[in-house]
Amino acid sequence: MSLKMDVDWKPLLLVPALALLALPLVGSPSTWLTLTVAGLAMGMIVFIIASGLTLVFGLMDVLNFGHGVFIALGAFVATSVLGVMGDWTQSQSILANLAAVLPAMVVAMLVAGAVGLAFERFIVRPVYGQHLKQILITMGGMIIGEELIKVIWGPAQIPLPLPEGLRGSWLWGDAAVEKYRVLAVVVGALVFGLLAWTLARTKIGLLIRAGVQDREMVESLGYRIRVLFVGIFVAGSALAGLGGVMWGLYQQNVIPQMGAQVNVLIFIVIIIGGLGSTTGALIGALLVGLMANYTGFVAPKVALFSNIALMVAILLWRPQGVYPVAGSR
Amino acid sequence: MNLLELQGVHTHIGAYHILHGVDLAVPKGRLTMLLGRNGAGKTTTLRTVMGLWKVAQGRVAFAGKEIGGLATPQIADLGIAYVPETMGIFADLTVKENMLLAARAARRAQDMDEARLKWIFRLFPAVEKFWNHPAGKLSGGQKQMLAVSRAIVEPRELLIVDEPSKGLAPAIINNMIDAFAELKASGVTILLVEQNIHFAQRLGDTVAVMDNGRVVHAGTMADFSADAQLQQRLLGLSL
Amino acid sequence: MLRRLLSNDLPRSKVLAVLLIAVLLGLAFAPFVFPGVKALNVAAKILVFIVLVASFDLLLGYTGIVSFAHTMFFGIGAYGIAIAATRMGAGWDAVAVGLACSLAVSLVLALAIGLFSLRVRAIFFAMITLAVASAFQTLASQLSEFTGGEDGLSFRLPEIISPSFEFSEEPFLGVSLDGRLLCYYLLFVVAVVLVLALLRIVNSPFGRVLQAIRENEFRAEAIGYRVVVYRTLSAVLSALFATLAGAMLALWLRYNGPDTSLSFEIMIDVLLIVVIGGMGTVYGAAIGAVLFVVAQSYLQDLLRLGNEAVSGLPWLAALLSPDRWLLWLGLLFVLSVYYFPTGIVGKLRARSSAR
């Protein structure tokens, strides 16, 4: 009998495999490097957004079709916060820039988290266990949220320019690597690290991992998993807000519909990853990000289809996603 | 004194009316056996006590306090440990993590009661042997032992156990019986659902027999053991 | 006879019957009763939406499947006519070819989606259809040589239903008798026929099995109905009817673009209508569509009034801005899902049977 904790390593190889596959198709290594970093950055941002959603689903069987509203909210809040920090964003100093961007992120997370609390209480909680109504109601919540954003910030596109010091690229030989994208990868890695550490090393993480498998038993052991769930929902919304800020800076503008647009992407990601798995979401997000950037360069017309094709390919291999959660369903 | 009392409890599962007025008394410090044919409603009764099914009618009292409307975590918090028929082992977590989860007072593994763990390891050596292995890799019998270990990693007033010997090899069943005997001796009140004869004979102080969602007989194990006709009538077999 | 026409699915509520008759008459005589170009456009849009939403109800209300790909089939129908008319010129052969091709494409796609995804859980399916619809919309705007890209396609219709055709010099009851009128009545007849057809379908043994599957899939399978087959059939039928609705839209607008028929806003509109009107009742689509389209067109005016009235309080004014009408409808939608899960039709029927 195998006594080691064997880690399922095959899905982990998918990311480098895709990158290597793209190299001959792209041609020049320096372009490849630029695209890869861009893809990883985009993937990391998508992961930040998707991580909360997949945990919420894994734990409580609740799928929030309105998750996009927190993304948009975070992005718009950032426009307001950064708007009043003109001197710091105009400065060339990266430190000053970060001193502006960090508070924007924090405020965005707080606002998104607070709205998440209300969303859970008034929209999600009344329809526990009823999947059909959940889909409809969370969609309705997103519509209302999007309209409210338009009320507060207006219906038009708002530019969200990168602070001066974060613009531009570093040059490594022939390859130009955008500074902001590197930052995105760093932030994403930090978030993943934090999530992974929490899940593996803290008792709360233990509760989450156990709750995803057998919610009833966790309650029978005396834990109020409902409270935990609300916490995760709020954390997931806050993370989506953070992702929204980063996505907005990545695109350098924000529109009220951005929530609905990114929604599709994150659904693809968590389907690929397996509903309930954080590592799966990371892999899915990185694959989607890389795919979008590689196909955008090699065959632009196929770009959006490429994600669907990727999803179909993965589902044919593993119908429940790359890391199906061993749940009692 | 009865630690747990059910009076006229009815339970519905969806459209089905499963429990039709269950009356059950579990005396403190004793081991009560809940017997009955398959489908009699034994598991449903246990789940109703734990709040996993709602009490439609009737009263469930723990230490004199009404617990019928409480949520499952609250009920567990009162000092009741539940070992379900399906064991409820978290397969992806290690044995250590399973135990840590059950030890509510402990924030980390080091905080678990050393002495208590030693006692558990003595009762169930497999738990110590596979401490750092994923619980899913354990055999059926070992999982059962883990499930019971979880229930006793911290002192609890009442243990509710659903068929701990199901699917176990006879040698292991004896282990299990010894463990429960020691538990009983330590003063824990136990409500045990079991089909296994030896369990009933060696451990039972009081017995309740269920049929069709009702308790049709309640009394001491001594009396029940002595009455072969009664056993035949209620269970279709003799102890 | 009326019973047979409605496939024994009577309104079962006096108020509902009155409303339905009012809707029917209103739509039948719209050009005469509600003069003006805008009113006729609203009426035509209602006809299209009734068919579109009723076909969605077949899937959601009767079979219990949430699919976000409905607008994709709508778009296929619209593009079918548009592309055929653009390439083959104005004529009935273009319409026929366009219709046939779009129905064929819808059939194949619906089969593919059905067989692939209906084996997975409802939530998976909903997400996948969302992704597919989104991809299709992008595809439509990218294949510009074929679909006209972002700008869409403008085309001409067979002479008899185009506005320039006049079959009488004299206006009749104040309405000029031109091709536009004929086009409207073509749409009207098609809509009535399709709705009656849907009533036939949902009240047939097939429809009953769908409802059984919706209630308890496991049991239906256990009794011997192959759930996947029934669901796929339902998805295909729903898609075909949506395609026809798309063709209707294209015929009326003489234009089609990605936003006209494929946008996510339309999908949301359909959801709103089916929930507010009443899921699992074909009549809900009719009542809901009328309510919704009228609201969309005229509520904005109402909001504008309210907006001006409170212009002193900027925040309140922003909430009442006519552009934010979707906010209020969204609220109505959420409230409907909670408090009126059976929609208007359900409520009316419940009140009627309670008496």
What torsion, rounded to 10 degrees, do the Cα atoms C137, C142, C146, C148 define?
Answer: 80
Query: Distance, in angstroms, between A213 CA and closest chain C CA?
Result: 18
Instruction: Tell me the chain C residues in contact with residue A123 when contact means C-beta distances shorter than 8 Å.
Output: 334
Count of A-B CB contacts under 8 Å: 65
Instruction: Tell me the chain A residues in contact with residue B92 when contact means C-beta distances shorter than 8 Å.
Output: 209, 213, 326
Domains and their CATH numbers in chain B: 1-79+156-239 (3.40.50.300), 86-155 (no CATH)
Do the chains contact at A210 and B90, CB–CB below 8 Å?
yes
Phi then psi for residue C278, to 5 deg, are: 135, 115
Residue of C196, C185, C188, C207 whose CA lies nearest to C283: C196
Give the model's pLDDT for residue B66. Answer: 92
Task: Tell me the CA distances in angstroms from C82 to C93, C142, C149, one per residue in order.
Answer: 13, 16, 12
Query: Distance, in angstroms, between A137 CA and closest chain C CA?
Result: 6
Give the model's pLDDT for residue B238. Answer: 60
What is the rounded distance in angstroms from the CA atom of residue B49 to the CA atom of residue B69? Answer: 10
Give the model's pLDDT for residue B102. Answer: 92
Do the chains contact at B73 and A213, CB–CB below 8 Å?
no
Q: Is the pLDDT of residue B217 over 80?
A: yes
Residue of C231, C121, B94, B88 whose CA lies nearest to A321: C121
- Which fold is adopted by the domain A28-317? ABC transporter involved in vitamin B12 uptake, BtuC (1.10.3470)
Q: Is A209 on the interface with B (CB under 8 A)?
A: yes
List all residues 6 or more positions away from C177 whose beta carbon is below 8 Å from its beta carbon.
Answer: C166, C167, C168, C170, C171
Q: List the domain boundaries for chain A.
A: 28-317
| CB-nearest partner of C330 from A127, A144, A301 | A144
Question: Hey, what are A161's tokens?
Answer: 């320019």
What is the rounded distance in angstroms from the CA atom of residue C277 to the CA atom of residue C32? Answer: 27
Phi then psi for residue B61, to 5 deg, are: -125, 135
Query: Distance, in angstroms, between A129 CA and closest chain B CA?
Result: 14
Task: Tell me the CA distances in angstroms from B25 to B71, B189, B202, B215, one per residue in order.
Answer: 22, 12, 20, 10
Give the model's pLDDT for residue C72. Answer: 94
What is the rounded distance in angstroms from the CA atom of residue A243 to the CA atom of residue A190? Answer: 13
Give the model's pLDDT for residue C41. Answer: 87
Total H helices, total E strands in chain B: 10, 10
| CB-nearest partner of A136 from C142, C271, C324 | C271
Give the model's pLDDT for residue B237. Answer: 67
List all residues 6 or more positions away from A252 whose beta carbon is below 8 Å from its beta carbon.
Answer: A159, A160, A161, A162
Question: Hey, what are C306's tokens?
Answer: 């309210």
Mean pLDDT of chain A: 85
Do the chains contact at A137 and C337, CB–CB below 8 Å?
yes
Residue in this structure with the two tokens 């234009």, named with its chain if needed: C255
Say if domain C2-354 classifies as CATH 1.10.10: no
Q: Is C146 on the interface with A (CB under 8 A)?
A: no
Task: Tell me the CA distances in angstroms from C186 to B78, C1, C172, C181, C286, one per residue in order.
Answer: 72, 24, 18, 9, 18
Q: What is the ipTM of this complex?
A: 0.90
Tens of pLDDT, residue by residue over B117-152, are 998 998 888 899 999 999 989 988 899 999 999 999
Tens of pLDDT, residue by residue over A44-96, are 999 999 988 888 888 778 888 889 999 999 999 999 988 887 777 777 777 77
Phi then psi for residue A8, to 5 deg, are: -75, 100
For an interface test with C, which of A46, A63, A267, A270 has the most C Cβ atoms less than 10 Å from its Cβ? Answer: A267
| CB-nearest partner of C331 from A131, A133, A144 | A144
Query: Distance, in angstroms, between A222 CA and closest chain B CA?
Result: 4
| CB-nearest partner of B88 from A203, A209, A220 | A220
Amino acid symbol at B236: G
Give the model's pLDDT for residue A5. Answer: 43
Residue of A101, A108, A109 whose CA lies nearest to A167: A101
Does B185 or B15 have the greater pLDDT score? B185
Q: Considering only CB atoms, which residues of chain A are within 8 Å of chain C?
A: 57, 63, 65, 123, 126-127, 131-133, 135-137, 139-141, 143-144, 147-148, 150-152, 155, 260, 263-264, 267-268, 271, 275, 301, 304-305, 307-308, 311, 319
Q: Is B79 on the interface with A (CB under 8 A)?
A: no
Q: Burial code of A27-52, b = ≥16 C-beta within 10 A, e = fewer? A: eeebebbbbbbbbbbbbbbbbbbbbb
Do C and B touch, 3+ Cβ pairs within 8 Å? The answer is no
Query: Distance, in angstroms, between C196 CA and closest chain A CA?
Result: 27
Tens of pLDDT, residue by residue over B29-43, are 999 999 888 888 899
What is the rounded distance in angstroms from the CA atom of residue A194 to the CA atom of residue A152? Answer: 33
Do the chains contact at A220 and B50, CB–CB below 8 Å?
yes
Q: Is B54 on the interface with A (CB under 8 A)?
A: no
Give the model's pLDDT for residue C119. Answer: 65
Report the neighbours of C using a cutoff of 3 or more CB pairs below 8 angstroms.
Answer: A
pTM over 0.90: no
Q: Is the pLDDT of residue A329 over 50?
A: no
Do the chains contact at C327 and A147, CB–CB below 8 Å?
yes
Query: Distance, in angstroms, between A200 CA and closest chain C CA?
Result: 28
Give the model's pLDDT for residue A7. Answer: 67
Please report, in tens digits, the pLDDT of each residue of chain C (355 residues total). Answer: 777 777 777 777 788 888 888 888 888 888 888 877 888 888 999 999 999 999 999 988 888 888 889 999 999 999 998 888 888 877 888 888 889 999 999 999 999 888 776 667 777 788 888 888 888 888 888 787 777 777 778 887 877 777 777 766 667 666 777 778 888 888 999 999 999 999 889 888 888 888 888 888 778 888 888 888 888 899 999 999 999 999 999 989 888 888 888 888 888 889 888 888 888 888 888 999 998 888 777 777 777 777 777 777 777 777 777 777 788 888 888 888 888 778 888 888 888 777 5
Tens of pLDDT, residue by residue over A219-267, are 999 999 889 989 999 999 999 999 999 999 888 889 988 888 888 889 8
Instruction: Tell me the chain A residues in contact with residue C321 when contact means C-beta distances shorter than 8 Å.
Output: 151
